[in-house]
A and B are shown apart, each in its own frame.
Chain A
Amino acid sequence: AQSVTQPDIHITVSEGASLELRCNYSYGATPYLFWYVQSPGQGLQLLLKYFSGDTLVQGIKGFEAEFKRSQSSFNLRKPSVHWSDAAEYFCAVGAPQGTYKYIFGTGTRLKVLA
């Protein structure tokens, strides 16, 4: 069965430090991968997406993610974190062929220290 795993429930980084949030997926075919961010009290906002081609994709707010097929991973990165990046981050796989159900990870909550 398809699944998405975000192994880190909470991550704390200092402002200005680099960030990497992990995402692993289990999927039989070429996955369609997304990262979303949820600020407190808000809905989810799309950060970036990967469908094919260049395995390093750029998103909004200075985020990027790298697709590694051999590791079944799609990790999110940012070189220098800002206090406003404190939020919850969700990795997702687009609805598998033949279904209409997106699969979300359980999320990683990011705390940024001043």
Chain B
Amino acid sequence: NAGVTQTPKFQVLKTGQSMTLQCAQDMNHEYMSWYRQDPGMGLRLIHYSVGAGITDQGEVPNGYNVSRSTTEDFPLRLLSAAPSQTSVYFCASSSTIDSIRDQPQHFGDGTRLSIL
């Protein structure tokens, strides 16, 4: 049981490039989310999904796209990378959306992204 798997672990991009951060979970969780972590700012929610085909914005969605074609996968796309997107990105999942309030999230190990 791998839990939440994020790839790549590290990435360096040039300004203006695009890329996709991959996230997969094998726990059949309905809820998946993407956060970015910056020093002194904790975790900020970028986008989330409550099931295949359903996504919504978090608090910092600009510059990022997501899709959820399967229960397992929830990729995050940077459309045109900017230095302000240099951060550590975490994907997380939790079980049924009916009881999301009392369900802890399971986190991947993160992707460390640098934009030059």
Within 8 A of A (CB), among B85-102: 90, 92, 97, 100-102
Measured between alpha carbons, how far is A104 from B48 in the docked complex, in Å?
15
Known: A43-B4, A95-B101, A96-B101. A104 touches B42 (CB 8 A): yes
Band of interface residues on B: 20 to 34
The 0/1 profile, CB within 8 Å of A marked 1, for residues 28-45 of chain B is 000101000000111101
The 0/1 profile, CB within 8 Å of B marked 1, for residues 7-21 of chain A is 001000000000000
A34 CB-CB contact with B under 8 Å: yes
Chain A interface SS verdict (over half): loop
Measured between alpha carbons, how far is A107 from B31 in the docked complex, in Å?
23
Known: A51-B102, A96-B101, A102-B105. A90 touches B42 (CB 8 A): yes
Most chain B Cβ neighbours within 10 Å, of A36, A49, A104, A105: A104
Q: What's the count of A-B pairs with C-beta under 8 Å? A: 57
A97 CB-CB contact with B under 8 Å: yes
A106 CB-CB contact with B under 8 Å: yes
B33 to chain A: which residues have CB within 8 Å?
Answer: 102
B56 CB-CB contact with A under 8 Å: yes
In the bound complex, do residue A106 and residue B42 qualify as a contact, i.e. CB atoms below 8 Å apart?
Answer: yes
The 0/1 profile, CB within 8 Å of A marked 1, for residues 19-61 of chain B is 0000000000001010000001111010010100000101100
Closest CB in chain B relative to A99 CB, distance in Å: 9
B40 to chain A: which residues have CB within 8 Å?
Answer: 9, 106
What are 17 A-B contacts with C-beta separation under 8 Å?
A: A41-B110, A42-B109, A42-B110, A43-B108, A44-B92, A44-B105, A46-B105, A51-B102, A90-B42, A96-B101, A97-B101, A100-B56, A100-B100, A101-B48, A105-B42, A106-B41, A107-B42
